[in-house]
Amino acid sequence: MRRFVTLLLCVVAAVATMRAATTVSLSGASGHPGDEVTVSVAMSGDDAVTALEVVIPLDEALSYVDGSCSLATDRDNGHQLTAAQVGQELRIYAYSVALNPFNGTEGELLSFKLLLSQTTGSFTLTPSVVLSDAAGDEIASTTSSGTVTILSPAISVSAASIDFGHIAIRSTYSRSFTLRNTGNEALTVSQIVCGDKTLSVTPSSCVIAAGGSQSVTVSYAPVTRGDFSSTVTILSDAVNGAKQTVTIAADPYSVNELRVQSASGVSGGTATVALTMNNMEPIVAAQMSFTLPSGLSYVDGSVALGDRSVNHLIAATVTDKVLTIILYSPDNTPLTGDDGTLLTFDVNLEGRSGSYALRPSDVVLSNATEENMVSATYSANVTIQSPQISGSSSLSFGEQAITETMTAYYTVRNVGKQPLTIDRVTFLAEGYSVATDLPTTIPAGGSDVLTINYVTAVAGAFSTTMNVYSNDPEQPMLAVAVTGTGFSPNELEISGKLVGDNNDFALVISLENNSELVAAQFDITVDDADAIDGAPTLVATSRLASHSSSITSMGDGVWRVLVYSMSNAAIDGSTGSLMTVTFPRSSDTYGQVTFTLTNVVLSDANGVNLLSPVLTLDQSCTLNVKRSQTITWEQDFGKVYEGDVISLEAVASSGLDIVYELEILSGDAEIIGSNLHILSVGSYIVTATQPGDDSWLEAEPVSKTINASTGVESIENDEEISTAIYTLQGVKVAHPQPGQIYILVTPTSTTKRIF
């Protein structure tokens, strides 16, 4: 028969006529695991279909119910039907031996049943279809898939195990995991059961919507130490497992802690260190060691029992800065209580300000069976408060004259936590002293300046060591390297003034000398060479009576002065003027001109230049040549009347602003800006001045005498004019200026009035 059906359904290469394709579609179905659901196969189209083959791939969750496939009675036209599952395919064949077409053109053609497995989800049925007509030709077709849904909840647990880790007993700890419903119906978690009374969960039951989730918190409250293992069981109606398990693990321990308490004190004193213990187990003995840091040392015999001892004994030893303490009971009596001071000991505070760590090591907290029950140890710091000196390792006087006491300033800082006292300061050489009163105390965080003096009559470099003594416990003496250079002061100074009608430059060269000098050489440099018109003249003072002096142009505004003695005679005196050098000024030179002393040599009889290395006198001189200016004032004040406002028109040849001054001989007037306001009849003197500036001399003042009269007393009124306004000079105006006096004429009166 298989051969016959195959022949009946063979495919023809060409279709005789074109028509709309016949559609074969599968229906959907849904049910719960174990249910049998019916899927119908419909066919619609105008083609005369006499046979068909339908092949449907099946998911493993679906299986064909043998014998369940049947043709729809209203479309059966004497057809044969076979259906079977081969592997994961359902194969259906329907044909007519008489080559009869199926009845009708649409509707259900056949149906079959599928058995739903224990799972959840939606599964698509996608058919492959071959249709043929009575001639054995293939009929074009299209297909439409169906979907079978298995309705059930399914559970997923986010963690297979939870490890609480190393935790202390007598506390409660929480962890969580998540339940998810991966099915398509609500999941009912009927109970979440803990396998040990130290475990609890929240919630203990729940309903989770399809696709939803629920967080479950597991709380663990250990009461005994040692490895712990248990389970949390989840019971539900999940299709994929009604019982799920989460493994719980932990390593709980009892808390028996040794704590070092902080201590503090002042350097040079002592501090008491307390050790406390909080314990859950009965402790009968203890032992610990400390490596004492530099700055701390154990006070012999200071170790003492705390208030938790009963008949306990204690001992302490120190070996190579390691302090070891042993506490025990001869009859293994436990220490009382579960918290408090275990023991104390004292340390000497020998360091400077800072924190010094005390870290316990080799700690044993023993029970009666000699089991070490220690769970943790905690360190602490001993804080020392002390002064701490801070200052530079060097002090420089620089270069100073040996004719006066040299002075330098040294800053001392206290960077510690206690007052710093400077007891004394010593030097490893003569001539040095401290001007600051000692002892002096510097507060914590403060500073002070020591004034250091040095006296010598010898020029040249000097050095020594200054030792500063204080109460700094680690550095009681601070050594400071002192350096400097003393010189014999020999210096030139220049000053000057303008002289003569031409405002020539007269420069005075003075010498301040501590050494015996026989010769001098220096250059006078002018910043504007064009300011000089001709050769300068040099006139020496009596200090150079035994010397020759000359001045020579070196070009570019530089003149060299030589002072010498053929017999190496010393320049007379130690202070005062040596000479006056006068430079003729170029007539068109105005403004500032600066003269500077350079290349100075002050020589002794051996030809050594004894010029001071630090010049403190004036080495330059600036002279300011100002232009003269005049004031021109041609303004006529022949007719001035009461009420006039006169704009003053004096002009300075410099272009600078004129300043006006008013002298009232009689009457009343005022100057506002450059305007003279005549307020009444009277006589006035107005003076134009120009005080000059950096470039211009003061101008010669120019004065004007002004006599103001009353102007027109009365005006005959035109009969056609009812009211008119005139100036005091009789000029008719339409718009009077505010603040000025006018004559107001009306048909009945003539008055003066300020508008």
User: How many other C-beta atoms lie within 10 A of the C-beta of residue 591?
Assistant: 13
Average pLDDT over residues 362-367: 97
Residue 401 has pLDDT above 60, yes or no: yes
CB-based burial label for 349 (10 Å; 0-12, 13-18, 19+): buried
On the CB side of 209, CA atoms within 13 Å amount to 1
- Of 152, 148, 185, 182, the residue nearest 62 (C-alpha): 148
Q: What is the pLDDT of residues 55-77, one digit of tens each?
A: 999 999 999 999 999 999 999 99
Structure tokens at 324: 């070891």
On the CB side of 735, CA atoms within 13 Å amount to 0
Question: Which range scores top for mean pLDDT: 104-108, 614-618, 636-640?
Answer: 104-108
Q: 136: which DSSP letter?
A: S
| Conformation bin of residue 672: beta by default, left when phi > 0, alpha when psi is -120 to 50 | beta
Average pLDDT over residues 389-408: 96
Quick one: pLDDT at residue 615? Answer: 65
525: CB partners within 8 A, 6+ apart: 557, 558, 559, 595, 596, 597, 598
User: How many other C-beta atoms lie within 10 A of the C-beta of residue 288?
Assistant: 22
User: How many other C-beta atoms lie within 10 A of the C-beta of residue 428?
Assistant: 12
Strands 640-641 and 702-709: parallel
Beta bridge partners of 80: 95
Quick one: pLDDT at residue 712? Answer: 59
pLDDT class of 694 with cuts at 50, 70, 90? confident
Average pLDDT over residues 617-635: 92
**554-559-562-563 Cα dihedral, nearest 10 degrees:** 180
487 or 18, higher pLDDT: 487
Quick one: pLDDT at residue 1? Answer: 33
Strands 146-150 and 29-31: parallel
Quick one: pLDDT at residue 725? Answer: 76
Contact in structure between 408 and 289 (CB atoms under 8 Å): no
Q: What is the pLDDT of residues 33-51, one digit of tens each?
A: 999 999 999 999 999 999 9
- Of 346, 376, 358, 193, the residue nearest 277 (C-alpha): 376
Contact in structure between 676 and 646 (CB atoms under 8 Å): yes
Q: What is the pLDDT of residues 328-347, one digit of tens each?
A: 999 999 999 999 999 999 99
Q: Computed over its alpha carbons, how large is the radius of gyration of the chain?
A: 61
Quick one: pLDDT at residue 385? Answer: 94
Quick one: pLDDT at residue 688? Answer: 95
Average pLDDT over residues 651-656: 94
Contact in structure between 369 and 456 (CB atoms under 8 Å): no
Q: What is the pLDDT of residues 319-333, one digit of tens each?
A: 999 999 999 999 999
Residue 13 has pLDDT above 50, yes or no: no
pLDDT class of 726 with cuts at 50, 70, 90? confident
**260-266-270-272 Cα dihedral, nearest 10 degrees:** -30
Which single residue is written with the structure tokens 């932990």?
Answer: 250
d(CA 213, CA 561): 107
Question: What is the share, in percent, of the chain residues with pLDDT greater than 90?
Answer: 87
d(CA 98, CA 118): 44
d(CA 584, CA 532): 6
Per-position b or e across 208-223, b if 16+ CB within 10 A of its CB: bebeeebebebebebe
Query: What average pLDDT does the structure give for the chain?
Result: 92
Residue 18 has pLDDT above 90, yes or no: no
Contact in structure between 51 and 137 (CB atoms under 8 Å): no
E-only strand ranges, 556-650: 558-564, 577-583, 591-603, 620-625, 631-632, 640-641, 645-647
Average pLDDT over residues 242-260: 96
Tally of residues, the chain? 755
Contact in structure between 460 and 375 (CB atoms under 8 Å): no
- Of 195, 251, 248, 247, the residue nearest 227 (C-alpha): 251
The pairs formed by 646-654 with CB atoms below 8 angstroms and a separation of 24 or more are 646/675, 646/676, 646/678, 646/706, 647/674, 647/675, 648/674, 648/675, 648/676, 648/686, 648/688, 650/688, 650/702, 652/690, 652/699, 653/629, 653/699, 654/627, 654/629, 654/690, 654/692, 654/695, 654/696, 654/699
| Conformation bin of residue 396: beta by default, left when phi > 0, alpha when psi is -120 to 50 | beta
330: CB partners within 8 A, 6+ apart: 311, 313
Average pLDDT over residues 632-655: 93
Quick one: pLDDT at residue 12? Answer: 30
605: CB partners within 8 A, 6+ apart: 516, 518, 568, 570
Quick one: pLDDT at residue 7? Answer: 34
pLDDT class of 9 with cuts at 50, 70, 90? very low
Strands 80-86 and 128-132: unpaired
Average pLDDT over residues 370-378: 95
544: CB partners within 8 A, 6+ apart: 563, 571, 572, 578, 579
Average pLDDT over residues 387-413: 96
Contact in structure between 189 and 212 (CB atoms under 8 Å): no
Q: Which helix (H) or strand (E) holds 441?
A: strand 440-442
d(CA 84, CA 689): 134
Contact in structure between 164 and 227 (CB atoms under 8 Å): no
Residue 380 has pLDDT above 90, yes or no: yes
d(CA 378, CA 257): 8
570: CB partners within 8 A, 6+ apart: 516, 517, 518, 605
Residue 739 has pLDDT above 80, yes or no: no
Quick one: pLDDT at residue 285? Answer: 97
Q: What is the pLDDT of residues 91-134, one digit of tens each?
A: 999 999 999 999 999 999 999 999 999 999 999 999 999 999 99
- Please, what is the Cα angle at 298 between 296 and 299, to 5 degrees? 120
| The residue type at 495 | S
pTM above threshold 0.85: no
Contact in structure between 117 and 60 (CB atoms under 8 Å): yes
